[in-house]
């Protein structure tokens, strides 16, 4: 599902104009991103929690030259932990067929 698919679906179900729905979704995503940049965690009850954690420095390997170590500096990554209801719904869906 893309952002556009979400906008169309919400617009159809609510009767709101797609431009208004898009503006609300975009502003929500902007606020979530801003909170993560500020080091806050973002929690949506029953959906999940987004937070930022520091990935430690490590040594990687170049696949084209496996003998050469490549230093990877520490950096921030976004982590998502699904909420209880999301976990249950996804688990109830069963194994996805490829």
**Could you tell me if 68 and 51 lie in one domain?**
yes
> Could you report how far apart the first and last alpha carbons of the chain are, in Å?
17
Residue 38 dihedral angles phi and psi, to the nearest 5° = -80, 0
CATH number for the domain spanning 92: value is: 4.10.520.10
How many folded domains does the chain comprise? 2
Q: State pLDDT tens for residues 20-50.
A: 999 999 999 999 999 999 999 999 998 999 9
**Could you tell me if 20 and 49 lie in one domain?**
no
**Could you tell me if 18 and 60 lie in one domain?**
no
Asked whether the predicted pLDDT for residue 96 surpasses 70, the reply is: no
**Could you tell me if 35 and 49 lie in one domain?**
no
CB contact at 8 A, 16 and 10 = yes
Rounded-to-integer distance, Cα 7 and Cα 11, Å: 6
**Could you tell me if 89 and 64 lie in one domain?**
yes
Range of the domain at 9: 1-40
pTM, to two decimals:
0.77
């Amino acid at each position: 599902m893309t952002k556009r698919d979400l906008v169309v679906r919400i617009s159809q179900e609510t009767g709101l104009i797609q431009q208004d729905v898009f503006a609300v979704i975009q502003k929500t995503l902007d606020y979530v991103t801003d909170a993560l940049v500020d080091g806050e965690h973002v929690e949506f009850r029953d959906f999940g929690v987004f937070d930022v954690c520091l990935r430690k420095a490590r040594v990687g390997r170049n696949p084209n030259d496996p003998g050469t170590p490549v230093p990877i500096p520490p950096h921030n990554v976004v982590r998502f932990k699904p909420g209880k209801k999301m976990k249950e719904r996804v688990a109830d869906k069963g194994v996805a067929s490829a």
